[in-house]
């Protein structure tokens, strides 16, 4: 739903009703949104409905929620201790590095070799958000007729993932994918979160 359609109003009213009509503690409610501004808007709206108790409701972005799970359950994810999230500037630098290192014919146009950096970043973000790994992408493009551009995107995607590992970095999409994969496979962690967050 687009802006101004009442998403925040519906969610905050639902949270308020749960707190007013059940004995659920505020800390047992989890509300997830996409942006920090969404978190702020939801918290402010909830404050006007239920008062200071709103501060104890877990309202956060998907990324901060997943980051917290990664940090508090580091032993379950077997990640390097110095693993850090990738900044936007680092991401652009990585993609420029990948373009410099490869002889792409389509995604590296003559005269403006970084022209497609932003669209490449968005394409790979979209693939990751859909849970499409480089392996799955490779399988999918095998059935296409004209694959030159797709092959170059695949090389870019694979190289990007390798460079993230080499540099001990992960991007926001990886953060969400790591957590969703772990919750699908680790019933104990899933149950812990289900016990912590009742709604």
Phi/psi zone of residue 80: left (φ > 0), alpha (ψ -120 to 50 degrees), beta? beta
Per-residue pLDDT of the chain (199 residues; tens, 9 = 90+): 787 888 889 999 999 999 999 999 999 999 999 889 989 999 999 999 999 999 999 999 998 999 899 888 878 876 656 678 889 999 999 999 999 999 999 999 888 999 999 999 999 999 998 889 999 999 999 988 888 999 999 999 999 999 998 988 888 888 888 899 899 999 999 999 999 999 9
Q: In 3-state terms, what secondary structure has residue 144?
A: coil
Q: What is the pTM of this model?
A: 0.73
Surface-to-core class of residue 134, CB atoms within 10 Å of its CB (0-12 exposed, 13-18 middle, 19+ buried)? buried
């Amino acid at each position: 739903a687009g802006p101004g359609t009442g998403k925040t109003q519906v969610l905050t009213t639902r949270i308020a009703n749960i707190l007013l009509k059940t004995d659920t503690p505020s800390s047992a409610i989890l509300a997830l949104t996409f942006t920090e501004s969404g978190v702020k808007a939801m918290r402010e709206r909830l404050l006007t409905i239920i008062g200071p108790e709103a501060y104890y409701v877990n309202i956060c972005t998907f990324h901060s929620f997943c980051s917290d799970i990664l940090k508090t359950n580091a032993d379950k994810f077997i990640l390097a201790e110095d693993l850090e999230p990738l900044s936007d500037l680092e991401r652009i630098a990585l993609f420029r590095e990948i373009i410099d290192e490869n002889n792409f014919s389509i995604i590296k146009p003559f005269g403006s070799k970084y022209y497609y950096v932003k669209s490449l970043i968005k394409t790979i973000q979209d693939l990751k958000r859909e849970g499409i790994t480089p392996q799955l992408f490779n399988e999918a493009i095998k059935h296409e007729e004209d694959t030159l551009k797709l092959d170059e995107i695949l090389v870019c995607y694979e190289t990007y993932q390798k460079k993230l590992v080499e540099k001990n970095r992960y991007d926001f999409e990886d953060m969400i994918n790591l957590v969703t994969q772990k919750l699908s496979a680790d019933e104990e962690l899933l149950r812990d979160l289900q016990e912590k967050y009742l709604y």
